[in-house]
Amino acid sequence: MFLSSTSEMRKYPAPRSFLAAAEAAIIRAGDVVNGLEFFSASEEAPADVCRREVSRSDIYVGLFGFRYGPMVPGGSSSYQELEYRTALEAGIPLLLFMLGDDAVVPVTFVDSDLESLQRQRAFRQRLRQSSVKGDFSTPEQLESQVMQSLVRLRDPAPRPDRRTVMILCDDQTQNLGMLLARELAPESGVDVQLLGLSSSPDGGGVERLLTRLADVDLALILPSDNELASEWFEIGAVAGALGAERTMLVVPEGPSGLGMQTKLPVLRLRLTGNQVAEARFAAAEALTRLLAMDQRSQARPGFYSCFLSYVAEDADFVARLYADLQDAGIPCWFDRADIRPGEFWRQDLTRAIAGQDKVLVVLSRNSLRSRWVEREIARAAQLEDDRNRAILFPIRLDDAVFDEESGWARELAQQRQIGDFTRWRDEASYRSALRRLVRNLTISVASDTAEAEL
Amino acid sequence: MRRHLNAYTRHQVFLNYPYDEDYRPYAEALSFGVVAAGLLPVSARDLTTPDTGRLDLLIDAITNCYYSAHDLSRCRGEGPDNFARMNMPIEMGMGLFHALSTQRSSHRCAFFVPNHYSYQGFASDLAGLDPKHYTEDPETLLVAVYEWLRDIGPSAVVSNEPTVAVLEAFRDYHVRRDMVDGAGPSGRPTHSEAREVMYQICADRDWWDWRATKAGLAEFPAVPIRLRSS
């Protein structure tokens, strides 16, 4: 957990400072605190140490007061802003807490020179537009907010029953937008936000639009112009942020160039005549779409998982492979990590193989003598037949498999391409073999998808 | 284009750049950086399936690329707070917003701007991300994109070569590209032919080996290329 703040947060208020309160919350949540003041003396530039330590952290917690803090030598920002940007760029979850604008603090708690003051204000304004979790004015308040945010981050609350629909309309479609908002009334379990279409990206910048879209389940875009020439960017922005499934165009009936350009869901309405009936129709379509989204929300394209079959003698290699595959976003079943104490592990292994998409079997002089590895390979081969797709991916740590004159290992060597990890202790060779393995797994998953569609 | 973009999500980089002739050397640098990293570049130019709307293809491409690189050098705004709304093509809008809205969870993006270009005029803040700068020399863009991918990509996915080796390979690419009797204007290689040369250069060095197996060859068929006779 990287805790970022400026030095006065350590001193004020007495006897228990803001920083001490945040640290207490982090420790109570079971995490380890890291931050600028924990760094030991090093020959590295402090800015480099900051970047490295932030990048290594799992979560970034930022406390922002009224001082910009010391500048990075030769840089254009303070250490604290550098830490924030590094975390943002590294994709680390951000928990940002801001000392409230109306908090009463000593004069020394506020920047006194004009340049720092301006930088501090601009930084606070940018933070406000992004994802500040809360304002605080006392250490107790801060401790509670940090604790709650950490708990929520670890164990996100189940989705509420209510859904949020954003309606984007222009001057000419505002009336229809309001009717539509009324039809999607609170009793249907939908909260509605009504926004001007052409004003959405400006007047607050990118962060503001992103913040507004963050909790939106479905966007209904109501342009008055069928050709949409002036509103392509907004439509692209919304579709890009939410995805095509969660974006719906509501356009006037009649000739349109729109259908030629997109298969985004388009709903055509008659804008002359009874607009209430048309709005009711559009609301029903939106609710149907929300329901359909709920039903397929868990789909994860391109996702696959692996079972690792090996013997204890090769555990060092397997532990490394497991860590690297996990790091690459490929979930693996690895008995050291995944068998719970007290579980009947062989039974669990059989279940585990069936539960994964691919089985990686590590072949070596040791594993070729293992009855368990043999059984796991047989189970994987049976699954290949059942599922009619490639499941078994052998890799080797030595040449022993080629020395076999009969039996399953001989068959494997004759029939399968075997990944070569014989030089796995050499860093470059290991990386190269690992990348090739991951690519082969990926290609196999793509082929599976194609077969399934056929 | 590959049939199943979503199966390759973790290996794909969406490249969002201008398509004018002046930008061609920089587009090549961007694509080469991605190929040298062992990854798969995807741009609007790769999306040519005739029976699907362009917008749908773009949405597919952007949402199925774990990485995206956006060049802002042709964006012009209308005022200090305007995010270049009127002058940006739709893929820029979609690409930017998809990238920015998912940056913290399931997507990694970077923005590239030429040194002399003042993006601050229209983009007051790219959700806190600092654009990476390059000079008039396309090699500086290549260095920026390759090092970015190498820094953020896991070792099981991204190659890990010295940047100078990648620069040398890029120079080799220019030599081999100029030997191609291309189907483009004045015998220049087309987008697909140029991409094929990149694949070959990087495959020779074992950086891009998607065709190492029979299944890989089927998924990534080689584009036939004819070399000039002299």
Per-residue pLDDT of chain B (230 residues; tens, 9 = 90+): 566 777 888 899 989 887 788 889 999 999 999 999 999 999 877 765 555 555 666 667 777 888 988 887 766 555 544 444 444 555 666 666 666 666 555 678 888 888 766 655 555 455 556 778 889 899 999 999 999 999 888 889 999 999 999 999 999 999 999 999 999 988 999 999 999 999 999 999 999 989 988 889 988 999 999 998 86
Sign of CA dihedral A425, A427, A432, A438: positive
At B20 the pLDDT is 81
Whether pTM > 0.80 for this model: the answer is no
pLDDT tens per residue across span A346-405:
555 566 666 678 889 999 999 998 888 888 888 888 888 887 888 899 999 999 999 888
Task: Report how far residue A69's alpha carbon sits from residue A123's, in angstroms, rounded to the nearest whole number.
Answer: 11
Q: Which two tokens stand for residue B31?
A: 């694509």
Phi, psi of A36 (to 5 degrees): -50, -40
Is pLDDT larger for residue A51 or for residue B52?
A51
Q: A53 pLDDT exceeds 50?
A: yes
The beta-carbon neighbor of A327 closest among B103, B123, B154 is B154
Stretch A324-330: mean pLDDT? 83
Q: Which residues of A touch B213 (CB under 8 A)?
A: 417, 440, 443
Query: Which whole-number Å values give the CA distances from B164 to A36, A127, B36, B146, B147, in the listed order?
Result: 34, 38, 12, 11, 11
CB atoms closer than 10 angstroms to residue A106: 10
Q: Could you read off the pLDDT of A160-203 as tens digits, one per residue? A: 567 888 888 877 788 888 888 888 866 567 888 888 766 444 44
pLDDT of residue B53: 57
Higher pLDDT, residue A425 or B49: A425
Instruction: Indicate whether A6 pLDDT > 50.
Output: yes
* Best CA proximity match to B213, nearest among A418, A355, A218: A418
Chain A from 66 to 125: CB within 8 A of any B CB = 84-85, 88-94
Q: What is the pLDDT of residue A204?
A: 47
B81 vs A263: CB contact, 8 Å cut-off? no
- Candidates B35, B81, B82, B94: best to mutate against A (most CBs of A within 10 A) is B94
Per-residue pLDDT reduced to its tens digit, A88-109: 777 677 888 988 887 777 877 8
Does residue A158 have a pLDDT over 70?
no
Q: What's the 3-state SS for chain A? A: CEEECCCHHHHCCCCCCHHHHHHHHHHHCCCCCECHHHCCCCCCCHHHHHHHHHHHCCCEEEEECECCCCECCCCCCEHHHHHHHHHHHHCCCEEEEEECCCCCCCHHHECCCHHHHHHHHHHHHHHHHCCEEEEECCHHHHHHHHHHHHHHHHCCCCCCCCEEEEEEECHHHHHHHHHHHHHCCHHHCEEEEEEECCCCCCCCHHHHHHHHHCCCCEEEEECCCCCCCCCHHHHHHHHHHHCHHHEEEEEECCCCCHHHHCCCCEEEECCCCCHHHHHHHHHHHHHHHHHHHHHCCCCCCCCCCEEEECCHHHHHHHHHHHHHHHHCCCCEECHHHHCCCCCCHHHHHHHHHHHCCEEEEEECCCHHHCHHHHHHHHHHHHHHHHHCCCCEEEEECCCHHHHCCCHHHHHHHHHCCCEECCCCCCHHHHHHHHHHHHHHHHHHHHHHHHHHHC
Residues 107-166 of B with CB under 8 A from A: 108, 123-130, 152, 154-160
CB atoms within 10 A of CB A158: 6
Distance of alpha carbon A323 from alpha carbon A321, whole angstroms? 5
> For residue A146, what pLDDT band results from cuts at 50, 70 and 90?
confident
Q: pLDDT value at position A20? A: 87
B interface mutation test: which of A197, A206, A266 has the most B CBs within 10 A? Answer: A206
- Give A-chain residues touching B11 at CB under 8 angstroms: 439, 442
Distance CA A27, CA A256 (A): 60
Distance to chain B for A281, nearest Cα, Å: 25
Determine the pLDDT at residue A338. Answer: 47
Burial class (CB in 10 A: 0-12, 13-18, 19+), A154: exposed
CA neighbor of B3 nearest in space, from B52, B38, B37? B52
Cβ burial of A203 (10 Å; 0-12, 13-18, 19+) is exposed
Given a cut of 90, whether residue A9 has pLDDT beyond it is: no
pLDDT reported for residue A329: 78
What is chain A's mean pLDDT, rounded?
78
Q: Residue A155 CB: number of other CB atoms within 10 A? A: 8
Structure tokens at A441: 């797994």
pLDDT at A343: 41
Tokens coding A403: 């020395």
Residue to substitute from B66, B82, B85, interface A, most A β-carbons within 10 A: B85
According to the 3-state scheme, what is the secondary structure of chain B? Answer: CCCCHHHHHHHEEEEECCCCHHHHHHHHHHHHHHHHCCCEEECHHHCCCCCCCHHHHHHHHHHCCCEEEEECCCCCCCCCCCCCCCCCCHHHHHHHHHHHHHCCCCCEEEEEEECCCCHHHCCCCCCCCCCEEECCCHHHHHHHHHHHHHHHCCCCCCCCCCHHHHHHHHHHHHHHHHHECCCCHHHCCCHHHHHHHHHHHHHHCCCCCCCCCHHHHHHCCCCCCCECCC
Q: What is the pLDDT of residue A200?
A: 46
User: pLDDT value at position A14?
Assistant: 80
Please answer yes or no on whether B11 and A442 come within 8 Å at the CB atom.
yes
Residues A241-274: tens digit of each pLDDT: 787 778 888 877 765 544 445 556 777 777 667 7
- Give burial (CB, 10 Å; 0-12/13-18/19+) of A187: exposed
pLDDT tens profile A266-309:
777 776 677 778 888 888 888 878 777 765 444 444 457 888 88
User: Quick check: ipTM above 0.90?
Assistant: no
Report the b/e string of B78-89 with b at 16+ CB within 10 A. eeeebbbbeebb
pLDDT at B118: 62
- Decide which of A224 and A217 is more confident: A217
Minimal Cα–Cα distance from B136 to chain A, Å? 24
By DSSP bridging, strand A218-222 and strand A163-169 are parallel
Provide the shortest C-alpha distance from residue B228 to chain A (in Å).
Answer: 33
CB–CB contact A435 B94 (8 Å): no
Q: What is the model's pLDDT at position B85? A: 47
Closest CA to A397 of A437, A357, A337: A437
**A89, A240, A447 ranked by CB distance to B98: nearest:** A240
pLDDT of residue A235 exceeding 80, the answer is no
Residues from chain A contacting residue B129 (CB–CB below 8 Å): 85, 88-89
pLDDT category at A415 given cuts 50, 70, 90 is confident
Measured between beta carbons, which residues in chain A are less than 8 angstroms from residue B130? 85, 89
Please report residues of A whose CB lies closer than 8 A to that of B126: 206
Asked if residue A107 lies in contact with residue A66, where contact means CB atoms within 8 angstroms, the answer is no
How far, in Å, CA of A152 to CA of A161, rounded? 18
A328 to chain B, any CB pair closer than 8 A? The answer is yes
* CB contact B210 to A (< 8 Å): yes
